[in-house]
Every structure is written in C-alpha cells, then in structure tokens.
Amino acid sequence: MYQIQLSKPCTAYFIGIGGISMSGFAELLSDAGFSVKGSDANKSKITEHLSSLGITVFYGQKAENITSDIDFVVYTAAIHPDNPEFEAAKSLGLPMMERAEMVGQVMKNYTNAIGVSGTHGKTTATSMLTHIFLSAKKDPTISVGGILDAIHGNIRIGHSENFITEACEYTNSFLKFHPTAGIILNVDADHLDFFKDLDDIRNSFRAFAELLPNDGVLVINSDIEKIETITGNLSCKIITFGLEKSADYQAKDIEFDADGCGSFELVRHGNPTGIRIRLSVIGSHNIANALSVIALAEYYDIPMETIKEGLLAFRGTERRFEQKGSFQGVTVIDDYAHHPTEIAATLKAAERFPHKHLWCVFQPHTYSRTRALLHEFAEALSLAENVILTDIYAAREPDPGDISSRNLAEELKKLGKDASYFSDFEEIKKFLLKKCINGDLLITMGAGNVVTIGEELIEK
C-alpha cells in the first residue's frame, strides 16, 4: 500500500480536483511541496484558485493527462472504472487511492489526528473544535465539510502536530482513516441506501472506535442507544458527554437568550464546576456538540478560559442555521438539515428565535431516505407552523417512481398539518411573497439547492 509522506514530496494527480474536499487536500499537498496536477469537468472558482497556487488543472478527463511521472493518483467515489484517466492510471500501474484513503494517509503524518464523527453535527462540532484550537494557538490543519469564516473556507493548512477532520460514516469511508482521537456525536438511522439498518450503522461506528490506538481517546455521547456495543472492551480511553444520561461531561441550568443562543453550567464527573459556558449558536443540540469538544479540549490540556473564548467566537458555518437576510420584514434562515433528527433540532431551536409565524420550505434529499423515514420526516416537520415541500432532490439516485413529496404531504395531513407542495421554485417564491408577513421567520431546509429560494427572495 502506497503511503503519503508529507516530508517526502512527489507528484500527485487528482481526478475530480474541483470537489470541495479534493481541492482542499490538493492545496495541502501543494503547500507541503508536492507537484500537484488534476482534472475536472468544468472551470470554477475552486479550480481557478488552485491554478493561482501553481497547481495544473486540466478541464475534461482524458487519458493523455495521465503521465508516467505521476507517483500516485487520487480519485473521488464518483469516478467509475471506465473513466479514461482511471483506465490510463491502471494501465501504467500507478498507485491509486480513493479520496477517503488519501485522507487517512494524510492523517498518519500527524501526532494528534482527530476524527469528528456522528450521524449529525459533524461540521458544527469540527468548527467548534477549530475555534478552540485556534484560540489556543495550536496552529491546526483543518478539513471541514462546510465554509467556516474563521479559516476562510473549508481547509486550513497548519504546521503543527494537530489535524482535525470530519469523519463520515457513509459507505464506511471513515474506516479508511487513522485517528488518534475520535468523537462520536450520535448514531441514528440514515444512509439506508448503504446500511442495512441501525444495528449495521452502530457496527460501523464500533469499527471506527476500534481504529483508535491504545493511547488514544474516544469522546462519545452517553445518550446513544446501546452505547456499550460501541464502547465495550475498547483499549483506548473513553470520555462520555450527554444531555440526558449520566456522563463525564454534562450541562445544568441551561438557558437561552433572546436570540435562542444557549448557555449552561458545566458539570464534570457529576460535580458542578461553577463554570458558565456561553454559545453564539442556537439550540439544545449545539449544547451537546459543545460538551463533546469541551471534553476533548480538556483532554489536550487546553485552559478553560481558552475553551470558553473559542466557543463564544463560533457563530456557525454556512448552511447551519445561517441568517441570509430578509424580504418584506421576513427573516430568512437557511439550514442543511436533511434527516428527521436534524429537522426537529433545527425547528425546536427556531422556536426560541424571535418571530411571529414559522415557515419551513423543505426539500427532501434522496428517494431512499425519504421512503425509509417518511413518517419520521412528517413528525419532525410538523413542528413548523407552515410547511412547503419541493420535489425530492435526487442527488446520486435515479427516480424509482414510487415515492415523491406528495407522499410526505399526505403523511403531514394525517398528523393534522396542512402542507403545501409545489414542483416549481418560482411558484414557491410567489406563494411566500403572498403569505409571509412582517416579523415572520422563513427557513429553507435541505441538502440540495433549496437555499436559492430564500436567496432570490432577498434579492427582490
């Protein structure tokens, strides 16, 4: 197996270099002195940025782009074996690795390689941890799944022993990682187009936990059902956090300010500390996220005042309860929530945000998820006063013809909630302009392109 060594630069080729994660790691290797090349289908701001760094970017994937001077090739999961560059690299016998394998290879170069996992909240918790490490002046290298203002993007290249990244369970990609420390925020039924059931997902997180070395640490949510199937007989140190069940790190006297941002007293090993933690993001779910990163930060001996400073400075990432602006006195929020648990957490948090009426425009993400969790989606969405549904965002899936947003509207009506469905974004905008009044709160929600509805309303 080929091993990337940052201390020994060579020539790397990225098939699909314009992707949000691929581009970040291409930049990281280039900064380390590697000669980096790659290809993408189209020119973008990302590829133009890479070119400005001296990285060679080809547009269109052609066999002649792959030359014998390349030392290894990285490709995304979207690249198929019949891709001409993939075929050319194979025929030349070049070492090849999928993106997740490459991330794992990079992690081996850091003494402290932290993987933040969980069905929900990875981007937020990774961003919170980033703020704390930056406040502590630990010069971390960061890879985060969203745009974070503190690092001006999704990648930060540090020059220390600290590396922090999200660790996603989908297709078991995080099992290719090499963490020395890990966080498991939660375990929920999701990605059922890949996993068989919740037990299968739980087994995947167990396998992730087993990657941690004997002298490593796992920070895990004690509220996870059947947590012992993940933590039982692990050789690494285990630190728990939670909002409900007994844990090493807990919160008491939880309060929310006028904007819905939380604060709480930290309880450590059952003992109130008198330490008040204040957050600049809303919702109970973010108190749980904060507990996880506090636990890990203290494991690394970061002073509490620095932890508090970092958490207070974190004001969210792009598409996580992001305030976009307003139209005719209506506040527009955008949120990436695309699973019932995430939707419920966001809508509960929104209840504490100043508003007259709450409107939620939801775009379901993937047919398989919508079908598998149809009733759960309806229950979560019923927390909003007014629900508008778009067509399902297909993402990676073909339309099976047996599930649509109309089915979700019917489920909502069974719960006594009148949901409106529109197949056209323009019709949704016209409806909202007519129905929303000054002081209302509008949330566009989903992992697809629903964000454009709110953005275009603001521009009117």
Catalytic residues: 122-123, 166
CA dihedral 138, 103, 234, 300 (to 10 degrees): 0
Cα–Cα dist 423/418, whole Å: 17
Cα–Cα dist 368/347, whole Å: 23
Residue 43 has which token pair?
Answer: 């020119």
Q: CB-based burial of residue 229 (10 Å sphere; 0-12 exposed, 13-18 middle, 19+ buried)?
A: middle
Nearest to 313 by CA among 148, 140, 100: 148
CA angle 115, 117, 119 (to 5 degrees): 165
Sequence-ordered list of residues with C-beta below 8 angstroms from that of 94, at least 6 positions apart, any chain: 13, 66, 70, 71, 72, 73
Q: CB-based burial of residue 424 (10 Å sphere; 0-12 exposed, 13-18 middle, 19+ buried)?
A: exposed
What single-letter DSSP state applies at residue 213? -
What type of residue is 267?
V
Query: Strands, E, within 171-283: which ranges?
Result: 181-184, 217-221, 237-241, 249-256, 261-268, 271-282
Task: Give 47's Cβ-side CA count (13 Å radius).
Answer: 19
33-36 LR contacts (CB < 8 Å, sep 24+): 33/9, 34/9, 34/10, 35/9, 35/10, 35/11, 36/11, 36/12
DSSP H or E stretch at residue 420 = strand 419-421
Beta bridge partners of 282: 261
What single-letter DSSP state applies at residue 366? -
Is 354 in contact with 437 (CB distance < 8 Å)?
Answer: no
Nearest to 162 by CA among 111, 123, 115: 111
